[in-house]
Amino acid sequence: MRETLQLLIYGVQLGVIYALIALGYTMVYGIINLINFAHGDLVMIGAFVAYFAAELLGANFPLAIFLAMLIPACLSVAIERLAYRPLRDKPRLSALITAIGVSIFLENFPRMLPFIGPNYRPFPMLIPFKNFTLPTGAVLNSIQIVNILVSVALMVALTYIVHRTKVGRAMRAVSFNKDAASLMGINVNRIIAVTFFLGAALAGAGGVLYSMTYPMIDVLMGIWLGTKAFIAAVLGGIGSVPGAMLGGLIMGICEVVATALYSELGYGSGFVILILILLFRPAGLLGKVKIEKV
């Protein structure tokens, strides 16, 4: 029982991070049907921004995470403007290859910069580490608490933006039907840029929280983190915001439990679960099946 609870804590801690990153995938896919391969690398950029913020400005968690959200978000808007927008009316797969190109660039350009380089770097402690023992015997540490609280806060904020604000309503309208939204006076380009901004901000935050938990960062960390988060987004139903949150949690918990059972199983387990879920619910857990009309 104690062990189960302990595993659950680790799983939730990892799961909320996957969920944060998955939200960016799901929002971008929901709005322009693009699997944004460069999204994982924005996670890495977020982690590096926080690293340098801590090096230069001291270990200040709110400031580090703010910068780590802002800079990838601006970068993402720039990428959308320069690399994706010109291809919006072209075949869908051209944009996908562009996304791969951007991703290769984002991984290798920092690698060649002398102050970043290809090596692993230890991530600084942004908050003091402290263990708390719960009445059941499980141990909860301060990083886990901060991870979970910050992630939940960000997800609540995103849900609020999507469902309760004018921009959010416009986002939902654009993802429902771009042309109709445009006829209703919505500036589609601006709304897509906002979507990229929000998604990348969450990815940057996810990068910081992940690096606090596993304090080694390198330029390729975004690849696997991004792939798993993408799988989480699909699992929950791509295009669905609550789906991405649920999918992230499921992925995190499954991965931790499978690794605890047998260390080699951890990596593949998420994919097996994905296939099983897709067999029975092809649109993901909370996704809607689209009905095709002629």
> Binding residues for another protein, per CB under 8 A?
35, 37, 83, 86-87, 90-91, 93-98, 100-109, 111-112, 118, 223, 227, 231, 234, 238, 264-265, 267-268, 271-272, 274-275, 278-279, 282, 290, 292, 294
Which CB, 183 or 279, lies closer to another protein?
Answer: 279
**Ranges of H-type helices in the chain:** 2-32, 39-57, 61-79, 92-112, 142-164, 166-176, 178-183, 188-213, 221-236, 241-261, 265-280
CB of 2 to another protein, least distance (A): 29
- Residue 67 beta carbon to another protein: minimum distance, rounded to whole angstroms: 24
Does an H or E element contain 133, and which? strand 131-133
- What separation in angstroms does the CA of 81 have from each of 85, 243, 272, 285? 5, 27, 36, 32
CB of 280 to another protein, least distance (A): 10
Shorter beta-carbon distance to another protein: residue 158 or 231: 231
Tell the smallest beta-carbon distance from residue 78 to another protein (Å): 13
Determine the angle formed by the axes of helices 39-57 and 221-236, rounding to 10 degrees: 130
Residue whose entry in the numeric block shows the structure tokens 């693009």: 34
Other CB atoms within a 10 A radius of the CB of residue 122 amount to 10
In the complex, least distance from residue 54 CB atom to another protein, rounded to whole angstroms? 26
- Please identify, using beta-carbon distances, which residue of 179 and 264 lies nearer to another protein: 264
46 vs 239, beta carbon nearer another protein: 239
Residue 52 or 105 with smaller CB distance to another protein: 105
For another protein, the closer of residues 39 and 201 by Cβ is 39
- Per-residue b/e over 240-277, b at no fewer than 16 CB within 10 Å? bbbbbbbbbbbbbbbbbbbbbeeeeebeebbeebbeeb
| Least distance from another protein to the Cβ atom of residue 227, Å | 6
- φ/ψ region of 290 (left if φ > 0, alpha if ψ in -120 to 50, else beta) reads beta
